[in-house]
Copies of this chain bind each other. A is one copy, B any other.
């Protein structure tokens, strides 16, 4: 998605340790016009799929998922990190390791909102090692629902998450795949 790559080139900041900061438009401050273009592009790529629900994970997936959901005309469910007293005990749960926060989260979805009749599009902002996605896939499979596909905004193609997911036979569409970053020059290399 050329518009997205241009935006990453212009406003993304490469930091040491293969960190790409896109917090000015994607995951802290959110450019809703860009999100609409992202939503349209997900719809274009998954137009043939009988999707009836979008699943994402808090926090930074939620905005993109909600804007995209307008193009699919379906509800969004977000998986929650850690137990809350406002969540029924009746949940699907999985564990996700976060490298960003250096800890393991329990992630849950209420059984009321995911079941064997659901045909799910999973949406998230980033794909690096694939831990979050593996957890979301696990939740969908626990519910007996079908994964129609996965839509990712930015994939770090030099980490192994994308290969891992694709090797499972799940359709994965990443709108921008980064093959390399240089924190000294700020250069970002996208996959064609």
Looking at A22-30, A152-160, A180-188, the stretch in contact with chain B turns out to be: A22-30
Minimum CB distance partner of A99 in chain B = B85
Residues 84-104 (chain A) with a chain B CB within 8 angstroms: 84-87, 100-102
A30 touches B100 (CB 8 A): no
A33 and B35 CA atoms in complex are apart in Å by: 17
Q: Which residues of B contact A62 (CB under 8 A)?
A: 58-59, 62-63, 66
Looking at A70-78, A136-144, A169-177, the stretch in contact with chain B turns out to be: A70-78
What is the distance, in angstroms, from A21's C-beta to the closest C-beta of chain B? 6
Minimum CB distance partner of A70 in chain B = B32
Q: Is A31 an interface residue (CB 8 A)?
A: yes
8 Å CB contact of A84 from B58, B77, B100: B100
A28 and B102 CA atoms in complex are apart in Å by: 25
Residues 41-77 (chain A) with a chain B CB within 8 angstroms: 58-59, 62-63, 65-67, 69-70, 73-77
Q: How many copies does the complex hold?
A: 2
Q: Is A112 an interface residue (CB 8 A)?
A: yes
With A86-B100, A101-B84, A112-B24 in contact, do A29 and B63 touch (Cβ < 8 Å)? Answer: no
Interface residues on A, range: 35 or more
8 Å CB contact of A66 from B35, B102, B113: B35
With A24-B113, A62-B59, A63-B63 in contact, do A30 and B78 touch (Cβ < 8 Å)? Answer: yes
A63 and B39 CA atoms in complex are apart in Å by: 14
What is the distance, in angstroms, from A123's C-beta to the closest C-beta of chain B? 12
Contacts A23-B110, A28-B113, A36-B70 known; list 16 others, CB within 8 Å.
Answer: A23-B113, A25-B75, A28-B77, A28-B87, A29-B77, A29-B113, A32-B69, A32-B70, A32-B74, A32-B75, A33-B73, A58-B59, A63-B66, A63-B76, A66-B67, A84-B100
